[in-house]
Structure 1
Amino acid sequence: MSVNGKSDQAHLNFKGQKPQTKPATKKQRADSNNSSNTSMEELTNIQTQLEAMTNGISELREDLKSMLKREEIEELITNSVSTIMKKIEESMLNQIEKEVKNRTNTFKEQIAGLEFENGQLKQTIVELNSSTTKSITELETQVGKLYDTSREALKLANYNEQYSRKNNVKILNITESSNETETSLTQTVSNNLRTTTDVELKPEDIIAIHRIPTKKGAIRTVIIKLRNNNAKSSIMKKRTPIKNERIQASR
């Protein structure tokens, strides 16, 4: 078996020498002495040939002994298969390691990209939070200003409303007709005031006159908006205690 794990194929070598035979001599009729010598020579030749054959068989046996046995062949095959499987395993491991390395690098790149995007999102959130906080502060300031302005406007509106109602007079229990108009209502109120308070209400003293809603079935109250406070004062001063319930200052 060679150093490389392979065996050199044994060859059958016959190292014995082929017996040399003498050329046949022409037989001649001879006497008994010549015949005896010839027989001896033939026996010698046969013996020489037998010895050569015996040597050849011995050498053949030695050559057969040097040939591979079955166990050695099986061992050689096992070693060869093991070597091949080892190389295949190493190749597969190298491919797996290479693939794992490539996948790992890909994942690392993706993770790095995600971390970068996450950092940008965090920065965006911080900026939005700062901007939102600033906007909320500004809105709160504006709301505060609007609240103060609305309070002032409400005060002014109340004052204007009170001022606008300053010269209003509310008259109750003025009979209401189905075909009542502003002119007929003015005439009815003027006649009523003349009768109950002895006040002569001129048409030019009245800016507006109308009825306001009340409970169903009740007579609607009449509101008179007078031109100035003098006309209102003349009415309020001259109303009698008995008829006080019918004439009221509008609030």
Structure 2
Amino acid sequence: MVKWIAAVVGLSYRGIFGAVVGFFIGSIIDAIISKGKAYKYTDFNIDTEDRVSPGDFELNLLTLSSIVIKADGSVSQRELDYVRNYFVGAYGKDKANATFRTFNEVIKKRQIDEQRICTYLAARTSYEVRLQILHFLFGIALTDGNVSNSELHVLQRIAGYLRINSADFSSIKAMFVKSEDNAYKILEIDKNASVAEIKKAYRNMAKKYHPDKLQHMDEAYRKGAQEKFTKVQEAYEQLQKQRGF
């Protein structure tokens, strides 16, 4: 549209030469506008951490932590210490303290909307980062030695809002909540899986939880990724012994 307007304007001032120049410049402007519209409708689906500022990410993560801490109706010092140590390990003492101050001054005074927070993070972080968020939240729930049903309910709800599929939720849950078929759950397979299926599942899970996928994140996140990776290896080795392969 712009190219034709520019062509008419150019014609009125410089004749045919002006019309050609106007058409050319207008075509460039049309292309820029069209490209801008394309970005407007597609950038919501791009998984890049730079679409959420570090400060926003930390505050939202701390807010989700507070939801899990309060899930069972009590706030334990061990849970608080776990969160503080994690943030200090990830961001350093000064930055962690600044995040806690902001949280205390602003977030705690407002009504928390976990769905809005998770939707915000889901649109702006990679799937691997969201798996690590869930892993961290499970760690909070386990600090008292047991993940309660109320905590599980909250964690499952958060996982859904973060767009984490049920198989991955069950896999991470099995790393914290023990059962007879934990190894199978961690590898996301059925107890009747064949040896070939177990080996294939191990390869897939090892790729999914490999620490290299979080090399761009802070040390605490890479450590969490290593923990998940180790759990996958342990589950595979356990099945190797049970099945004798």
TM bucket normalised to smaller: under 0.3
More strand by share: 1
Q: Normalising by the residue count of structure 1, what TM-score does the alignment of the two structures yield? A: 0.27
Q: Normalising by the residue count of structure 2, what TM-score does the alignment of the two structures yield? A: 0.28
More helix by share: 2
